[in-house]
Amino acid sequence: MMCYREFTERGVILHQPQTLALDVRPEQIAPGVEIFPGCRISGATASIGPDCRIGSEGPVTIVDCQLGSAVSFASGFAQEATMLDGVTIGANAHIRPGTLLEEQATLAHCVGLKQTLLLPFVTLGSLINFCDCLIAGGTSRSHHSEVGSSFVHFNFSPRQDKATPSLFGDVPSGVLLDQAPIFLGGQGGVVGPLRMAYGTIQAAGSICRKDVLSPNTLIHPDPPTMPPLATFNPGRFGNIARMVNNNCVYIGNLHALAAWYQAVRQKTSPDDAHGQACWRGAYERLQQMLTERVRQLAKLADRLASSPDTHPSHMALVKLMAEHDFSFCGTHGGPPAVLMHHIAAAQHPSHIACVQAMPATVKTAVRNWLQAIVDKQQEKWEQFVNG
């Protein structure tokens, strides 16, 4: 029988410990954490920060996840995911590897995530499948981007590919917490890969299939139509330039966020063991997201070899995958000096407070720095497709 004395002596609150399976070292769980009956926590990289509540509405299984402080996880499953301070997860969540939830992001019940990135304050309703995407927007918990209940991000094409990541907002402005929120209405969906600007409102019940690059756009449901029947050839891809361009923009945003984590988050994260575990976990999530996006593009490039189409964009993608290094190493460039001065000049109580206190001149420099990182990935694709 497992001994829980070392956990309780640290101040971890265990309800019905005989029902728990804690396959971690006591120091991986902070004092003040409350764990309810039926929970399982395991993994060498697992870290549960102070004041977290695990399993208040049912059993939770956590495998190699990092939780910041005051995270509430009602029930469900999570593996190789990172949740920063103040995240709230409702009942029956299913959170798979490559998921990063930043401060005060909120999930209602029955939400499925994989390779998903929610920037601070983003809220997801219930009964949602939101995999392979990034969403930003909003300035606080009372002014945030929201995804309505029963929303689906369609991330698997009838051609059997997942080169379909969608970008709602972006990283260069999203990390600064000063943009208009995005609203995706309930019982709706988006067909990836797609990009959507800040301030976009998608009406409930609608399916968005095109990029929305103009801010503050209202998307209405498409009028009902009866398209003519046609033969579908799953091996025929046609012009894939937009698809690959959106993938490269998405990858560029991952590069920008990785640079942000290295230059800023590493300094503004709590310096205790659990805060640093969250920083390392978050950066690992970004690496996982990058690896998945490159893997899916490579699979698409391989499939083009047997396509009956011979569009120039096909060969451009093959060359891109063969010649371009997508890795984070050496691509970030140095952060602006005014940013580093702002971080060093004042001891802010949290990362959120540090960002919200940034003067406009610092924010402008940050946007320019991060946007240049994004542009580098998109420009490389443009060289191949236009060359």
19 and 66 in a single domain? The answer is yes
**Is 231 part of any domain?**
no
Low-confidence ranges of the chain (pLDDT < 50): 1
Cα 266-267-270 angle, rounded to 5 deg = 85
pLDDT of residue 149: 98
Same domain, 211 and 250: no
Question: Does 260 fall in a domain?
Answer: yes
* Tens of pLDDT, residues 209-261: 999 999 999 998 766 666 677 777 877 888 999 999 999 999 999 999 999 99
Q: Is residue 226 part of a domain?
A: no
pTM recorded for the entire structure: 0.95
| DSSP codes, 273-326 | HHHHHHHHHHHHHHHHHHHHHHHHHHHHHHHHTT-S---HHHHHHHHHHHH---
The CA angle 145-149-153, to the nearest 5 degrees, is: 75
Check which CATH number belongs to the domain holding 142 and give it: 2.160.10.10
Residue 235 included in any domain:
no
pLDDT at res. 1: 46
> Do 362 and 290 sit in the same domain of this protein?
yes
- 91 shares a domain with 44: yes
For the sheet with 81-83, list strands across it.
Answer: 47-48, 66-67, 81-83, 99-101, 116-118, 133-135, 166-168, 195-196
Please check whether residues 140 and 70 belong to one and the same domain: yes
Count structural domains, the chain: 2
Residues 212 and 249 reside in one and the same domain: no
pLDDT recorded at residue 222:
67
Give the residue numbers spanning the domain of 360: 241-386
pLDDT digits over 45-60, tens only?
Answer: 999 999 999 999 999 9
Task: Give the end-to-end CA distance of the chain in Å, rounded to a whole number.
Answer: 66
Cis omega (within 30 of 0) for bond into 193 = yes
Same domain for 248 and 205: no
Based on the fold, state whether residues 92 and 176 are members of the same structural domain: yes
Whole-number Å distance between alpha carbons of 138 and 112: 22
List the beta bridge partners of residue 183.
146, 201
pLDDT of residue 221: 77
CA distance 258 to 246: 18
- Collapsing DSSP states into helix, strand and coil, what is residue 88? strand
In a domain, residue 224? The reply is no
- The H or E element spanning position 89 is strand 88-89
Domain check: are 179 and 288 in the same one? no
* Listed residues 219, 252, 272: the one ending a domain: 219
305 and 209 in a common domain: no
Give dist(CA 373, CA 346) in Å, integer.
27
Instruction: Tell me whether residue 228 is in a domain.
Output: no
